[in-house]
Amino acid sequence: MSNSVSRREFMNLLGATFGTNALIQMGSALSLMPTTASAASLSLAAPIAGKGKVLVLGAGISGLTVAWELTKAGYDCTVLEASNRAGGRVMTVRSGDVVDEIGNNQVCEWDNEPHMYFNAGAARIPSTHRNLLGYCKELGVELEMFINESKTAYVQDDAMLGGARIRNGEMSTNVRGFLAELFAKCYTSAQLDQPFSDTESEKILGLISQFGDLNENMLYKGSSRAGYVSGGFLDHGIQKDMVAFKKLMESQMLGLSFTANEGETGPMLMQPVGGMDMVIKGFTRALGDKVVYKAPVTGITLKDDGVDVSFERDGVRQSISADYCFNCIPSHLMTGIPNNYPSDYFESMSSIKRGEAYKSAFQAKKRFWEDEDIYGGISWINAPIQQIWYPPHGIHKAKGVILAAYNFGGGMHFTKMSQAQRVEAALAQGEKLHPNYREMVEKPITIAWHRMNHMLGCSGRWGSGFGGWTDEIQTLFDRLQQPTPGGRHYFIGDQVSYHGAWQESAIASAHWALADMDLRARNMGV
Amino acid sequence: MSNSVSRREFMNLLGATFGTNALIQMGSALSLMPTTASAASLSLAAPIAGKGKVLVLGAGISGLTVAWELTKAGYDCTVLEASNRAGGRVMTVRSGDVVDEIGNNQVCEWDNEPHMYFNAGAARIPSTHRNLLGYCKELGVELEMFINESKTAYVQDDAMLGGARIRNGEMSTNVRGFLAELFAKCYTSAQLDQPFSDTESEKILGLISQFGDLNENMLYKGSSRAGYVSGGFLDHGIQKDMVAFKKLMESQMLGLSFTANEGETGPMLMQPVGGMDMVIKGFTRALGDKVVYKAPVTGITLKDDGVDVSFERDGVRQSISADYCFNCIPSHLMTGIPNNYPSDYFESMSSIKRGEAYKSAFQAKKRFWEDEDIYGGISWINAPIQQIWYPPHGIHKAKGVILAAYNFGGGMHFTKMSQAQRVEAALAQGEKLHPNYREMVEKPITIAWHRMNHMLGCSGRWGSGFGGWTDEIQTLFDRLQQPTPGGRHYFIGDQVSYHGAWQESAIASAHWALADMDLRARNMGV
């Protein structure tokens, strides 16, 4: 019976664990250097006399981390930032802010209230991002819950249900019900060669039933998990009709509820009260006038005993020498700045690709989603806008800021559009989910990271982004993570991590560099 | 082939929906009266001259709702509350509060800070509870996110893994992985009589793979969803070992992740900032001195044109006459108060059972759970304490209040214990999840609702609680929902709903009574 399933086939899952921890991807090697240095474990020595001047290039979160840690250790730090604000892709837009997109300058005209903001870049903090959370604690950044998943938010796909919206919870409940009934039928009918005992089978069928909310005959007949049509408090609730699986299957989005709320986008998540840039403000508050704005770097010269950096300020070219330099300028901008990097180092820097990302937001005249039982969470759309986020803060206030599009991986779609085209795309799609959308929203802000001044791209990506990590990439990465010869210059940021686009990665990169510098300073006295 | 699965068996799920909305349970009938009256749809007429005096018995949320709505409509309302506080089972404990448990009076000695509180009764507001949310908005009750599910919180079962704790996300990821691999094997091997097209099969297998995070061979080999052992930022993360399904199967709790975060305990949920009784304070602020405390009712006399109520205040027996009376005194206490209810009405009242519930809480000297990546959410324990809740508010503050037990349905276990025994039970079990628990927590508060003064039980339950709604129960329920003959007295509260223990149910009951009274007043001029 060639297609039977034997107990042997499940022995691994049933009884055994892998003997050793498995590496997720091949080609991985643990660095000899500390890889998981946390703020708590960083214990930097005071600078050696005459070796304490540090230049940090770029006030992104990795640069700010370095400046803050070295300041605490007694170094004399200066941070040069090209733009008029710190944070890089940690950017919150509020009333009066200028969005410095090249060719598409915008001024935010939303109501000036604490809850009326939009996190145009980083927006979520997973509970496992310990270093970032450590800095929030250390720097007094107040945090609150954030949720990704709301069962009352919608899924919308022109290919499914004639384009009608369906609640997240209704779609997932029907998908689960169908799969569970199918699973139970297959399990019962499959030639299983009796791999499980009766007791085990009973437990497995119990789990299948719980998964799909099946009835006592292991059939899916709808479920209150999908929500009621009405009632439930003073009468037996009237259950929603089941949705035909054939109709749902027209969509590619059915697996959303299995994939979208796992790992770093699963519960629980947090956000700073008042906007993600409260993290940045925490650092800049602590650093005071050590951060110099509107000071674009114009040249880097590595020397045996330090680094010379030239920059412009108020139209005047200036130069500073430092004993150490930590550089988080985006790789693709850095390669255009005059420098004397070794050719292999420059090659590594040049090999980093850039993620594409686009977000837009509106001020909503009214928090209309709350009338639809939605308080936070994400609606998923099979169209370029991809997602609509409802604010989890400012509940029941008069207005709110709604994220109208979050396109990742295909951001050039919007990047190439005019502001008017971007806005119309968001409205045309948004009103498929909320019929009164066009009347309810105003004062759009759009952010195409490939056109944002001083950035011109989103997160650094090695290889093809997801997977595709080759030996060649490993060589390029390792080279760039190491300091330049002599140990006086480090390239840092999420661009020098395996996991771009997260603040925790940028901090991890900074911590790696700090630990490496500290070790060299202690051991070699350089 | 008797055990084959034919396409016909799936026709219903694949293509058809039920013709009409299905009632969840048999024996249900829609009332002729409005069943889903919401605050918005309530439009109460002003009182008929000389018919405007209203007595509300009990300052639970249903009573407060009635008093507030009728006050707005122009009625002269008085609320008599037996205890020294409003809210009933909406109860928040803070520094200085007296817990009035009979034989176990406690005074809360926690630090006096806004985030140091414990919701001893109602604790969550689902986004679909529109009436309650409407009152929060109307009465200025500030809301924030609450989460039930945290993948970093724990599951602990003495019968599983030798009693070792396991992260929620790790358990569910392994269960899903195992089930998905089994499903894929069964699906492939089952004699399916070709019920699905190749395209359909491909989609189904795709969903199975997404569900379990299977590899390209439809095998489960562990998943990053379970969390990393280490790394992931500066190197390829080291994945946790798979957990043998045989070991997990020793627990009855494997289905938790399929059942615990659905319906009204699924995302998203909210809580009032500062404690659930902020809802109650919103009502009492609006009602001012209409609420009379420490005024236990000692007798109710129904009359043709109203109701006479006697009560005690400051040791003095007093009496008030009113045109209407709305009564949310717990049914099992009401039946002991002298009254002249018709015998069938009294019989209905007597038939209500009481849910058992027990909660306890500690002040934690340190928010130790945050060091374990836990910020809010619930740990599940297969022992009488059942759950540990971590506060989703006050993140990173010095201390917090941790819910140490939430026993529902078997609350008498703790109710019968002494305070010392209750505390020891919580500590002994809690340290199985958090080894340093005993050192970290202090100043216990325990609440056994069956022994709480003026309450002596938790939510009203009809029949066996879950299901078991019979025609006989329906008759009893309908009789109690209707006013007493003459239409001058209504029995209200979650005890007169199909869905006890939710504030929304209590409000729905109040709204039903208000709409019924209003209709009678308009149509009959009584």
d(CA B211, CA B357): 35
- The CATH code for residues A53-82+294-353+460-524 is 3.50.50.60
Quickly count helices (H) and strands (E) in chain A.
15, 27
Q: Please tell me the predicted confidence (pLDDT) of residue A232.
A: 84
Report CA dihedral (A341, A347, A349, A355) to the nearest 10 degrees.
160
Pairing between β-strand B154-156 and β-strand B377-381 as defined by DSSP bridges: parallel
Please answer yes or no on whether B31 and A230 come within 8 Å at the CB atom.
Answer: no
Task: Tell me which chain A residues have a C-beta less than 8 angstroms from the C-beta of B379.
Answer: none
Which two structure tokens, joined as six digits, stand for A201?
């089978």
Cross-strand pairs, B35: none
Least reliable range by pLDDT among A208-217, B12-21, B244-253? B12-21
Closest-CA distance, B415 to chain A, in angstroms, reads 29
Whether A492 and chain B come into contact, CB under 8 Å, resolves to: no
* Interface list for B 348-367 with A (CB within 8 A): none
pLDDT at A147: 95
Q: Does A23 touch chain B (CB under 8 A)?
A: yes
Is the pLDDT confidence value at B346 over 70? yes
Q: How many CB pairs under 8 A join A and B?
A: 349
A468-486: average pLDDT: 93
Looking at residue A408, what is its pLDDT? 87
CB contact under 8 A, A130 and B237: no
Measured distance CA(B352)–CA(B457) in Å, rounded: 11
- Please say if the pLDDT value at position A177 is more than 70: yes
Predicted local distance difference test score (pLDDT) of residue A288: 97
Percent of chain B with pLDDT over 90: 80
Lowest mean pLDDT among A30-34, B82-86, B400-404, B468-472: A30-34
CA distance A292 to A306: 20
Hey, are the CB atoms on B268 and A243 less than 8 Å from each other? no
pTM above 0.90, yes or no: yes
Provide the chain A residues 362-391 that lie in CB contact (below 8 A) with chain B.
Answer: 370, 373-377
ipTM > 0.90 for the complex = yes
Percent of chain A with pLDDT over 70: 90
pLDDT, average across residues B433-452: 97
pLDDT at B2: 39
* Chain A residues near residue B242 by CB distance under 8 angstroms: 12-13, 17-18
Give the residue extent of every domain in chain B. 53-83+293-351+462-524, 92-149+356-451, 166-259
pLDDT in tens, B196-218: 888 999 999 999 999 999 999 99
Per-residue model confidence (pLDDT) at position A463: 75
pLDDT at B148: 95
The continuous run of DSSP H or E covering B50 comes out as none
The interface residues of chain A toward chain B in range 192-211, judged by CB-CB distance below 8 A, are 192, 200, 203-204, 206-208, 210-211
The mean pLDDT value for A506-521 works out to: 96
In this complex, the residue of A24, A145, A188 whose CB is nearest that of residue B145 is A145
- B-proximal residues of A, 496-515, CB under 8 Å: 497-499, 502, 504-505, 508-509, 512
Topology classification of domain B92-149+356-451: Polyamine Oxidase; Chain A, domain 2 (3.90.660)
Q: Nearest CA to CA, how far is A132 from chain B (Å)?
A: 12
A171-200 average pLDDT score: 88
> What confidence tens digit (pLDDT) does each residue in A189-209 have?
876 666 788 899 999 999 999
Question: DSSP letter string over B116-133?
Answer: --EESS---EETT-HHHH
Residues 6+ apart with CB under 8 A from B388: B153, B378, B379, B381, B402, B403, B404, B405, B430, B433
- pLDDT for B277-301, tens place per residue? 999 999 999 999 999 999 999 999 9
Give tens-digit pLDDT for B145-177.
Answer: 999 999 999 999 999 999 999 999 999 999 999
Can you say how many angstroms the Cα of residue A227 is from the centroid of all Cα atoms in its chain?
31
Domain A167-259 in the same topology as domain A92-149+266-273+356-451: no
Indicate the CATH number of B53-83+293-351+462-524 among 3.30.450.270, 3.30.200.20, 3.50.50.60, 1.10.1740.10. Answer: 3.50.50.60
Helix (H, G, I), strand (E, B) or coil at A104: coil
Amino acid at B386: Q
A183 contacts in chain B (CB < 8 Å): 179, 183, 186-187
Q: Which residue of B has its CA nearest to A266?
A: B151
d(Cα B173, Cα B154) in Å, to the nearest integer?
13
> Which chain A residues are Cβ-neighbours of B41 within 8 angstroms?
none
> Mean pLDDT across chain A, nearest whole number?
90
Tell me the shortest Cα–Cα distance from B46 to chain A, in angstroms. Answer: 26
In this predicted structure, what is the pLDDT of residue B29? 26
Contact of B146 with chain A, judged by CB distance below 8 Å, is answered with: yes
Q: Which residues of A touch B176 (CB under 8 A)?
A: 258
User: What average pLDDT score do residues A98-106 get?
Assistant: 96
CA distance B56 to B490: 10
Kindly state the tokens that stand for B414: 């703790």
pLDDT of residue B214: 96
Q: Which of A 240-269 lie inside 8 A of B, CB atoms?
A: 240-246, 249, 254-255, 258-259, 262-263, 266-268
Rounded mean pLDDT of chain B? 90
Q: What is the pLDDT of residue A419?
A: 98
| Contact of A119 with A331, CB cutoff 8 Å | no
Query: In sequence order, what are the residues at sequence separation of 6 or more whose Cβ sits closer than 8 angstroms to the Cβ of residue A394?
Result: A113, A115, A116, A367, A400
The answer to whether residue B25 scores a pLDDT higher than 60 is no
**Which residues on chain B are in Cβ contact (under 8 Å) with A502?**
233
Interface contact A149, partner B, CB < 8 A: yes
Q: Is A179 on the interface with B (CB under 8 A)?
A: yes
> Hey, what CATH topology would domain B166-259 get?
de novo design (two linked rop proteins) (1.20.1440)
In this prediction, residue B9 carries a pLDDT of: 62
Which whole number is the average pLDDT over B58-68?
98
Please answer yes or no on whether A18 and B242 come within 8 Å at the CB atom: yes
How much is the pLDDT for A303? 97
| pLDDT exceeds 80 at position A255 | yes
Q: CB-based contact (8 Å) between A114 and chain B?
A: no
Q: Is residue A100 helix, strand or coil?
A: coil
Domain A167-259 has CATH 3.40.50.450: no
pLDDT (mean) for B118-127 = 97
- Contacts of residue B468, defined as CB under 8 A and 6 or more positions apart, other chains included, come to none
Q: Which residue of B has its CA nearest to A32?
A: B235
Please check whether residue B444 is in contact with residue B369, taking contact to mean a CB–CB distance below 8 angstroms.
Answer: no
Q: State the best of A2, A197, A234, A469 to mutate against chain B, taking most chain B CBs within 10 Å.
A: A234
- Number of other CB atoms surrounding residue B76 within 10 Å: 14
Quote the CA–CA distance of B507 and B511 in Å, as a whole number.
Answer: 6
Return the CATH class of domain A92-149+266-273+356-451: alpha beta
| Token couple for A240 | 């929603």
With 70 as the cut, is the pLDDT of residue A9 above it? no
pLDDT at A468 over 90: no
> Is the pLDDT score of B13 beyond 80?
no
Interface test with B, best of A33, A253, A268, A462 (most B CBs within 10 A): A268
Is any Cβ of chain A less than 8 angstroms from the Cβ of B36? yes
Nearest CB among B130, B266, B502 relative to A151 is that of B266
- Which chain B residues are closer than 8 Å to A23 by Cβ? 236, 238-239
Pairwise CA distance, residues A147 & A163, whole Å: 26
pLDDT of the residue at A23 = 37
> Which residues of A are less than 8 Å from B13 in CB distance?
177-178, 181, 220, 242, 244-245
- pLDDT at residue B38 is higher than 80: no
The closest of B357, B319, B312 to B88, measured between CA atoms, is B357
Q: What is the mean pLDDT of residues B352-364?
A: 95
Cβ <8 Å between A375 and B239: no
A102–chain B Cβ distance below 8 A for any pair: no
Q: What is the mean pLDDT of residues A27-47?
A: 52
The residue among A1 and A382 whose pLDDT is bigger is A382
Does the pLDDT at position B4 exceed 70? no
* pLDDT at residue B128 tops 70: yes
* Prior bond of A417 cis (ω within 30°): no
- B79 forms beta bridges with B56, B291
Taking a C-beta distance cutoff of 8 angstroms, is the pair B507, B61 a contact?
yes
Run of H or E including B282: helix B277-287
Chain segment A367-384, per-residue pLDDT in tens: 999 999 999 999 999 999
* End-to-end Cα, chain B, rounded Å: 71
Which residues are CB-contacts of B433 (< 8 A; sequence separation ≥ 6)? B154, B156, B165, B379, B381, B388
Q: Quick check: B425 pLDDT over 70?
A: yes
Given CB atoms, is A232 within the 8 Å cutoff of chain B?
Answer: yes
